[in-house]
Homo-oligomer: A and B are copies of this chain.
Amino acid sequence: MMVVVAYDVKTETPQGRRRLRLVAKACIKFGQRVQNSVFECLVSPSDLLILKDELTQIIDPEQDSLRFYNLGAKYSNRIDYIGQVRHLPMDEVMMI
């Protein structure tokens, strides 16, 4: 299934900038970065639990925000875009 992960991390402090890097590093293992703070992750239910657990340990819940949008398995008609595209379609990348 496709899960969109969007995050806002407070980066006024070195700790915040570190959290931002770690959040991106965790997400990149499961998906594609499509905007500065948005990843599209093709995950199994268990992958999603692992990712959420990892992100929960990284962020500061008092300052940062993580949102997950589950688009399900049939996701291609749920995604639209205008302007710049920063990623390759997930499936094509996997087949190479």
A-B contacts besides A64-B83, A72-B78, 4 pairs, CB < 8 Å: A38-B67, A61-B82, A64-B84, A69-B79
Which residue in chain B gives the minimum CB-CB distance to A37?
Answer: B37
The answer to whether B35 and A65 touch across the interface, beta carbons within 8 angstroms, is yes
CB distance from A88 to the nearest CB of B (A): 15
Cross-interface CB contact of A83 among B61, B70, B85, cutoff 8 Å? B61
The answer to whether B69 and A82 touch across the interface, beta carbons within 8 angstroms, is no
The answer to whether A70 and B64 touch across the interface, beta carbons within 8 angstroms, is no
Which residue in chain B gives the minimum CB-CB distance to A65?
Answer: B84
- Is A42 positioned at the interface, with any CB of B under 8 Å from its CB? no
- Is A34 positioned at the interface, with any CB of B under 8 Å from its CB? yes
